């Protein structure tokens, strides 16, 4: 049986983000010291969650070793029968400083975020071709998303149409890019994190007003490498979304440019044309290879 989908303000969601939850998210009480990690799915959210949680908790590796990242950093709009406490309920009861994950576009976020610039927002972007590939494998492996068994070509079509969980990448990205100059917003790119993670973490600490020793930054860099996070059951989680890692694990390849082994020349040309039409006027400096 396929999971149920619904449209909320024109955006497609699966049952784990029901309308009541999305309504409640808009009224979510934001605290001044909240940090929101906002991404389109598959942009490297889990990677940044682990890093930011460690920064905000002065490198508490002991706690990070005991508690899965989805319990430490709630997923705001997520609710299901098994793990419903990882979303709004957990966010509401959690002590500060909270690090909260969301994949929502601007118009569905807590209203208070844009009133008096409450809380901090970290926007993590990744080039859309690699996102599409990562999302395709996620759709295949996740029973919450129906264990998609179509071809990559079919998925690519769904992706550019925005007929995937959390809707159109184009709409999400446009909506957030327009907020990039707000005082409480900070932008990161997955590809920059791959190129020089240490530098990214140092700058992030500055934005978050959390000066850490170089030694601690080095430890976070090591702890959050793809290899470490892949071997770490607290970050390579399978139970959220019921992921079948034999089909494709949550930490799959973690590279820049895997789209080249999925897109045909023709698909790439069509994608570039759609990108130009949808995003041509926006000029976001995505890197498609390193
Ligand atoms: S989710 O479910 O939307 O929150 O998924 P998300 O965490 O955003 O994205 C998963 C992709 O991020 C990659 N990843 C990493 N890359 C490099 N280093 C580290 N440490 C890391 N952790 C996660 C993960 O492998 C997924 O990308 P793909 O391309 O599928 O490998």
Q: What is the CATH number of the domain that holds 215?
A: 3.40.50.300
Is the per-residue pLDDT at 63 higher than 90? yes
Is the per-residue pLDDT at 151 higher than 90? yes
CB atoms within 10 A of CB 280: 9
Strands (E), the chain: 5-8, 11-14, 35-39, 99-102, 120-125, 185-189
Mention every residue, 6+ apart, whose C-beta is less than 8 A from residue 44: 124, 126, 190, 193
The verdict on the CB of residue 39 being under 6 Å from ligand 1 is yes
The verdict on the CB of residue 152 being under 6 Å from ligand 1 is no
The verdict on the CB of residue 144 being under 6 Å from ligand 1 is no
Is the per-residue pLDDT at 60 higher than 60? yes
Query: What does the pLDDT look like over 94-137, one tens digit per residue?
Result: 999 999 999 999 999 999 999 878 899 999 999 999 999 999 99
Q: How far is the CA of 115 from the centre of ligand 1 (A)?
A: 31
pLDDT for 152 equals 98
Q: How far is the CA of 144 from the centre of ligand 1 (A)?
A: 18
Task: Please list the active-site residues.
Answer: 103
The verdict on the CB of residue 230 being under 6 Å from ligand 1 is no
Which element (helix H / strand E) includes 259?
Answer: none
> Per residue in 62-76, is it b (16+ CB within 10 Å) or e — as a string?
eebeeebbbebbbbb
Q: Which atom of ligand 1 is nearest to the CA of 258?
A: 29
Is the per-residue pLDDT at 195 higher than 60? yes
Query: What does the pLDDT look like over 211-259, one tens digit per residue?
Result: 999 999 999 999 999 999 999 999 987 666 578 888 998 899 999 999 9
| Residue 79 banded pLDDT, cuts 50, 70, 90 | confident
Phi and psi torsions of 243, nearest 5°:
-85, 130
Which CA distances in Å does 272 have to 43, 154, 164, 258? 19, 17, 19, 16
Q: Which residue is closest in CA terms to ligand 1's atom 12?
A: 44
Mutate to test the pocket of ligand 1, among 40, 45, 46, 194 (most ligand atoms within 8 A of CB): 46
Residue 150: inside a domain: no
* Total count of domains within the chain: 1
pLDDT for 160 equals 98
Average pLDDT over the chain, rounded to an integer: 94
Residue 274: inside a domain: no
The verdict on the CB of residue 232 being under 6 Å from ligand 1 is no
Residue 178: inside a domain: yes
Is the per-residue pLDDT at 76 higher than 90? yes
Q: Which atom of ligand 1 is nearest to the CA of 40?
A: 3
Q: What is the dihedral of CA 137, 10, 20, 13, to 10 degrees?
A: -10
Query: What mean pLDDT do residues 174-185 have?
Result: 96
pLDDT for 203 equals 98
Residue 257: inside a domain: no
The verdict on the CB of residue 12 being under 6 Å from ligand 1 is no
Report ipTM (2 d.p.).
0.99
Residue 188: inside a domain: yes
Residue 282: inside a domain: no
Domain containing 233 equals 5-126+166-246
| Residue 83 banded pLDDT, cuts 50, 70, 90 | low
Residue 285: inside a domain: no
pLDDT for 144 equals 85
pLDDT for 167 equals 98
Q: Which two tokens stand for residue 132?
A: 């599409």
Q: Which atom of ligand 1 is nearest to the CA of 45?
A: 8
Q: How far is the CA of 249 from the centre of ligand 1 (A)?
A: 10
Higher pLDDT, 274 or 85: 274
Residue 137: inside a domain: no
Q: How far is the CA of 168 from the centre of ligand 1 (A)?
A: 19
Is the per-residue pLDDT at 20 higher than 70? yes
Query: What mean pLDDT do residues 174-200 have?
Result: 97
The verdict on the CB of residue 141 being under 6 Å from ligand 1 is no
Query: What does the pLDDT look like over 271-284, one tens digit per residue?
Result: 999 999 999 999 99
Mutate to test the pocket of ligand 1, among 250, 253, 255, 258 (most ligand atoms within 8 A of CB): 250
| Residue 38 banded pLDDT, cuts 50, 70, 90 | very high
pLDDT for 117 equals 80
Is the per-residue pLDDT at 84 higher than 60? no
Is the per-residue pLDDT at 172 higher than 70? yes
């Amino acid at each position: 049986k396929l999971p149920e989908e619904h449209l909320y303000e024109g955006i497609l969601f699966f049952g784990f983000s029901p309308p009541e939850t999305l309504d409640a998210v808009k009224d979510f009480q934001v605290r001044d010291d909240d940090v929101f990690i906002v991404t389109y799915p598959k942009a490297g959210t889990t990677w940044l969650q682990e890093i930011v949680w460690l920064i905000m908790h002065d490198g508490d590796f002991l706690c990070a070793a005991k508690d899965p990242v989805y319990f430490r950093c709630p997923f705001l709009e997520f609710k299901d029968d098994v793990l419903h406490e990882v979303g709004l309920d957990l966010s509401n009861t959690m002590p500060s400083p909270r690090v909260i994950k969301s994949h929502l576009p601007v118009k569905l976020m807590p209203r208070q975020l844009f009133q008096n610039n409450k809380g901090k927002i970290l926007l993590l972007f990744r080039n859309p071709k690699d996102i599409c590939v990562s999302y395709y494998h996620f759709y295949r492996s996740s029973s919450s998303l129906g264990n998609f068994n179509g071809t990559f070509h079919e998925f690519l079509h769904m992706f550019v149409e925005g007929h995937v969980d959390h809707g159109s990448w184009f709409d999400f990205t446009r909506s957030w890019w327009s907020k990039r100059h707000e005082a409480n917003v900070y932008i990161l790119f997955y590809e920059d994190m791959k190129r020089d993670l240490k530098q990214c973490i140092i700058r992030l600490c500055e934005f978050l007003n959390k000066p850490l020793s170089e030694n601690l930054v080095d430890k976070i860099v090591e702890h959050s490498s793809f290899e470490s996070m892949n071997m770490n059951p607290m970050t390579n989680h399978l139970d959220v979304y019921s992921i079948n890692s034999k089909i494709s694990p949550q930490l799959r390849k973690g590279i820049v440019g895997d789209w080249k082994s999925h897109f045909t020349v023709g698909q790439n040309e069509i994608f570039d044309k759609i990108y130009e039409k949808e995003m041509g006027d926006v000029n976001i400096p995505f890197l498609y290879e390193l």
